[in-house]
Amino acid sequence: MMDNDFQKRLLATFKIETREHLTALSSGLIELEQAAGQEQRQKILEAVFREAHSLKGAARSVNMAGIESLSHALESVFAAFKREECSPSAPLFDLLHRAIDTIDKQLLAIETGQDAAAKSRARELIASLEKAVKGAPTPSPPPVPSPAEYRENTPAEKPAGSDTVRIPAAKLDSLLHQVEEMVTAKLTLRQRAAEVGEISAALASWEKEWKKTRPAVRRLRKIQQAPAGGAITDADADQLGRLLTFSDWSHAAVKSLEHQVHTLAKALALDRYTLNGMVDNLLEDVKEVLMLPCATVLEVLPKMVRELARDHGKDAELVIAGGAVEIDKRILEELKDPLIHLVRNCIDHGIEVPAQRKRLDKPERGRISVAVSLKESSRVEIVVADDGAGIDSVRVADVVVQQGLVSQDEASRLEREALLGLVFSSGVSTARLITDISGRGLGLAIVREKVEKLGGTVTVATEPRHGTTFRMVLPLTLSTYRGMLVRVADQTVIVPAAAVERVARIAGAALRTVENRETVELDGVPLSFVWLADLLHLPRTERNGNDVGLIPLFVIGSGVNRIAFGVDGILAEQEILVKGLGPQLSRVRNIAGATVLGTGKVATILHPGDLVKSAVKGAGVPAGAARPAEKGEAPRRSVLIVEDSITARTLLKNILETAGYRTSTAMDGIDALTQLRTETIDLVVSDVDMPRMNGFELTAQIRGSREFADMPLVLVTSLDSREDRERGIEVGANAYIVKSSFDQSNLLEVVKRLI
């Protein structure tokens, strides 16, 4: 009988192995569905058949009967494919993907146990797969999981086994060899310590001899102070002789010490050089241990593209290049969310439906590509692109003006590149309809935040009707990077060098005040100017009058958000070792981490993205600056809730009133139109399926009215099909939220954005 500890270790190993099999099966199914030639199809079939067979054997060894049964059913289908007794079809592929998802859920439920409903669904799947093998028409599979799992602002689940890595034996051999060399360095340092001990002993001996000569020194001082012509006694002569003898011995001793110290200094310099090489090589090899191929993150994308495209009535393929490029494991874990958001963005906003692509003389199947490549020696470039409709810059301009990010005049003067850069701002989305999975303007904001947190940059380029390209440039590893040392007040802080666009010095008289904000002109371009000390709430160095001399500054940011930060001094640029702030301070505004300088002092590493955000929001205004008088409390906004269910109506009313909105209610569309004409309403939240006049009809009536045509309207409904969402767009709804994935924070976020 197995003991508990061994069983836990065995199950942990089984989980890791099973996830590898599931990933290979999922990728293989995607390739099989797209394979054109018979030879290629048979090769893929052989691979997935072996994966299913291995998974069945692993499950049997740990008594996982449920996983074993599903694996056996998968194996049977693949065997039927190989014998050409069963024809692949889209419904059958859906069924196979659903089986893989079910195994994944069974894996998660190992500790908690499966409920009766889950076991029943698994039996239904097995029965459906067995019917497919016998040649019966493939039944409709159980509902495919909603793509809400890829919705914006939802963190990706941490994969099982992410706390462990598989390391090639060759890497471990290299590490062992270098650690053995460190033993030699340890013995060498022991010898150097002994040599320093000898020097210390010699100095102690010198001190001992010096103490013996002190009486002679005191006697000679008395003779020196005595009247001239006094006789020198034999005792005096003896003391003088002892002093002279010590002087000769002391000179020889000091020369010997000088030689020993010189020899030791040369030896230590050599040791330092050798040890530096050892430490650098060991550090590089340890980094290599934590380097994983990008494929470990990219492998989740093909299935996601398939499911999201089908849910949106589109046809898209994903092409991945550079999956073998290795990146720091910690960076890969942080990259999962940005990649999911970017690929989802390509499907949601880029790829057109097949009929539209056909009208545009494009292939009906859209193309999304993810390419990873090394850039220089320490950075990696990840490019996510699609061949879809591109980004409508006019629409972007309208949205950023509506959101208050720039004025209409500023938007008209912005260059196209700077305007496109604003799509990464929170709340900016070109979607015509807000749903529970898109249109809230959070996805690209999350991408920028994650990438900047990792010390990287993200840019976007687009060409109307030809597609959009997102380009991320990131460090290969998190442990070290170049940092710029800056003096602020009496402190030294560090700004990641990769984020700094330029460094300059300006005359104090060059500062100008425009609309209560300080500005400076660099190369003919006006930039907002912020004292970094004010931003970090540190005392600003006193400067007399307007003649403040030359002010050091650095520029970070992009587009309209390029900010010049004034400091007291820019000291140097050097490699820094990044240290986290610990779980107690996992996220501090404007702070990315800390490092220990060569002097032994701790220096704070600043977060470039946070600095720009804080400066844009006016956080850099000094505490003593004048502030506008506070206005009276703004009147509460009014929301009309249209819902025939009293339970749902009460729930929505409670959520909105708790958030500070004033509400009124209506039981159907006709009742709602009556209240719109008699009350002041700022926004309508409506169900769809209602008596007398449903939500679609109500929306069409409101949009067709001259008086209420611009009224923001949110549909909250249980109808979650693609056709229903498309009808919501057609009638003019601003947002479409499905009740099955309802989250009150989503509703409040949408309402806040629309009014």
Q: Is the pLDDT of residue 470 over 80?
A: yes
Instruction: Give the type of residue at 219.
Output: R
Residue 622 confidence (pLDDT): 42
Q: In what order do the strands lie in the sheet with 662-666?
A: 434-435, 735-738, 713-717, 683-686, 638-642, 662-666
Range in 83-92, 201-210, 543-552 the model is least confident about = 543-552
Instruction: Give the type of residue at 521.
Output: E
Measured between alpha carbons, how far is 304 from 316 in angstroms, rounded to an integer?
11
Q: What is the CA radius of gyration of the chain?
A: 36
In three-state secondary structure terms, 318 is: strand
Residue 250 confidence (pLDDT): 79
Average pLDDT over residues 664-676: 89
Q: Read off the pLDDT of residues 557-606 as tens digits, 9 standing for 90 and up.
A: 765 678 899 999 998 888 777 776 766 666 678 888 888 776 667 888 88
Average pLDDT over residues 392-421: 79
In three-state secondary structure terms, 535 is: helix
pLDDT above 90: percentage of residues in the chain: 9
Range in 378-387, 466-475, 641-650 the model is least confident about = 641-650
Give the angle subtended at the CA of 301 by the CAs of 316 and 481, to the nearest 5°. 130
Range in 77-86, 176-185, 352-361 the model is least confident about = 176-185
Q: Which of the pair, 268 or 379, is modelled with greater confidence?
A: 379
Helices 169-225, 234-289: crossing angle, 10 deg rounding: 160
Measured between alpha carbons, how far is 529 from 512 in angstroms, rounded to an integer?
9
615: exposed, middle or buried (C-beta count within 10 Å: 0-12, 13-18, 19+)? buried
Question: Token pair for residue 281?
Answer: 């090589």
β-bridge partners, 652: none
Q: Is the pLDDT of residue 282 over 70?
A: yes
Banded model confidence at residue 438, pLDDT cuts 50, 70, 90: low
- Fold of the domain built from segment(s) 480-616: SH3 type barrels. (2.30.30)
CATH code, residues 638-754: 3.40.50.2300
Quickly list H helices, 62-165.
65-82, 90-108, 116-133
Q: Read off the pLDDT of residues 41-51 as tens digits, 9 standing for 90 and up.
A: 888 888 888 88
The top-scoring range by mean pLDDT among 3-7, 189-193, 378-382, 416-420 is 378-382
Domain boundaries along the sequence of the chain? 4-144, 169-289, 292-475, 480-616, 638-754
Give the angle subtended at the CA of 167 by the CAs of 170 and 176, to the nearest 5°. 50
Q: What is the DSSP string of 452-463?
A: HHTT-EEEEEEE
Measured between alpha carbons, how far is 599 from 606 in angstroms, rounded to an integer?
19
Q: Is the pLDDT of residue 281 over 70?
A: yes
Q: Say which CATH class 292-475 falls into.
A: alpha beta
Question: Token pair for residue 471?
Answer: 């380009």
Residue 486 confidence (pLDDT): 92
β-bridge partners, 531: 566
Q: Is the pLDDT of residue 356 over 80?
A: yes
Mean pLDDT, rounded, of the chain: 78
Q: Which of the pair, 437 or 468, is modelled with greater confidence?
A: 468
Number of other residues whose CB lies within 10 A of the CB of residue 658: 10
β-bridge partners, 550: 507
Question: Token pair for residue 313?
Answer: 């009535």
**Is the separation of the CB atoms in 27 and 47 below 8 Å?**
no
Give the angle subtended at the CA of 95 by the CAs of 89 and 100, to the nearest 5°. 125
Measured between alpha carbons, how far is 428 from 424 in angstroms, rounded to an integer?
7
Q: Cα separations (Å) of 471 from 28, 151, 339, 420, 457?
A: 28, 21, 11, 13, 8
3-class SS letters over 363-408: CCCEEEEEEEEEECCCEEEEEEEECCCCCCHHHHHHHHHHCCCCCH
- Fold of the domain built from segment(s) 4-144: Four Helix Bundle (Hemerythrin (Met), subunit A) (1.20.120)
Q: Is the pLDDT of residue 198 over 70?
A: yes
pLDDT above 70: percentage of residues in the chain: 79
Q: Is the pLDDT of residue 671 over 70?
A: yes
Q: Is the pLDDT of residue 475 over 70?
A: yes
**DSSP assignment letter at 592:** E
Banded model confidence at residue 83, pLDDT cuts 50, 70, 90: confident
Phi, psi of 484, rounded to the nearest 5 degrees:
-100, 120
Residue 599 confidence (pLDDT): 67
Q: Read off the pLDDT of residues 514-559 as tens digits, 9 standing for 90 and up.
A: 766 788 888 888 888 999 988 888 887 766 544 457 889 999 876 5
Listed residue (130, 36, 141, 30) closest to 86, CA to CA: 130
The top-scoring range by mean pLDDT among 59-68, 445-454, 587-596, 701-710 is 701-710
Residue 618 confidence (pLDDT): 65
**Is the separation of the CB atoms in 737 and 747 below 8 Å?**
yes
**Is the separation of the CB atoms in 470 and 371 below 8 Å?**
no
Measured between alpha carbons, how far is 22 from 54 in angstroms, rounded to an integer?
11
Q: Which of the pair, 494 or 278, is modelled with greater confidence?
A: 494
Q: Read off the pLDDT of residues 113-130 as tens digits, 9 standing for 90 and up.
A: 666 667 777 888 888 888
Q: Are strands 379-386 and 326-328 parallel, antiparallel or unpaired?
A: unpaired
Q: Is the pLDDT of residue 158 over 60?
A: no
The secondary element (H helix, E strand) that includes residue 261 is: helix 234-289
Q: Which of the pair, 454 or 134, is modelled with greater confidence?
A: 454
In three-state secondary structure terms, 684 is: strand
Q: Say which CATH class 169-289 falls into.
A: mainly alpha
In three-state secondary structure terms, 470 is: strand
324: exposed, middle or buried (C-beta count within 10 Å: 0-12, 13-18, 19+)? exposed
**Is the separation of the CB atoms in 563 and 527 below 8 Å?**
yes
Number of other residues whose CB lies within 10 A of the CB of residue 279: 13
For 100, residues 6+ apart whose C-beta sits below 8 A from its C-beta are: 22, 25, 26, 29, 74
